[in-house]
Chains A and B, each alone.
Chain A
Amino acid sequence: AAGVIQSPRHLIKEKRETATLKCYPIPRHDTVYWYQQGPGQDPQFLISFYEKMQSDKGSIPDRFSAQQFSDYHSELNMSSLELGDSALYFCASSPRWSPEGGANVLTFGAGSRLTVL
């Protein structure tokens, strides 16, 4: 079965540089979520999109922005990178509504590891 695809898997940047992460959701999933997981931390919700519109906003820094495109893929843009931005960035996707009712399940990608030097 198709999974959530994230690219790149690894990225190394210098402080103050810009980075872009991409996420390709599971086909027919209309909602995309971005999470940041620092070393030894739990995943922190950044932002989500439903049908190309921002759906919910978490602890996303002002230096970060994201969008969802017409083909439902999403990009997370990070500018003025700081050492503290080094983390594993997860994208997850889900259908808005579970076809069998109940909880819609988020399926996570493998993550993009960003290292800021």
Chain B
Amino acid sequence: AQSVAQPEDQVNVAEGNPLTVKCTYSVSGNPYLFWYVQYPNRGLQFLLKYITGDNLVKGSYGFEAEFNKSQTSFHLKKPSALVSDSALYFCAVRDGPAGNTPLVFGKGTRLSVIA
């Protein structure tokens, strides 16, 4: 069974500094990896995904993530954080290409960007 670990409950970063939100995964087959952001009482907004190809994936709002197969990681990064990036971030995985398979989510990491 697949699983996702987000080891940090909270990440604090100063505005303008780079940010990293960590994610590691476990699947039996090929991982399909996703990052979503959630604002209070809202649904999830898609940031980026890794299916295949380049290990560095660029997504929405200046975010990017690097797929590292040997470390089974998919950390989310942004070179310069904004206060408006403060939100709850979820890493999710699907085991393989089957489209009708649900995502399995990590517990989420709350990002706080301080002005």
Q: Are both chains from one complex?
A: no
Chain B: residues with CB nearer than 8 A to chain A?
none
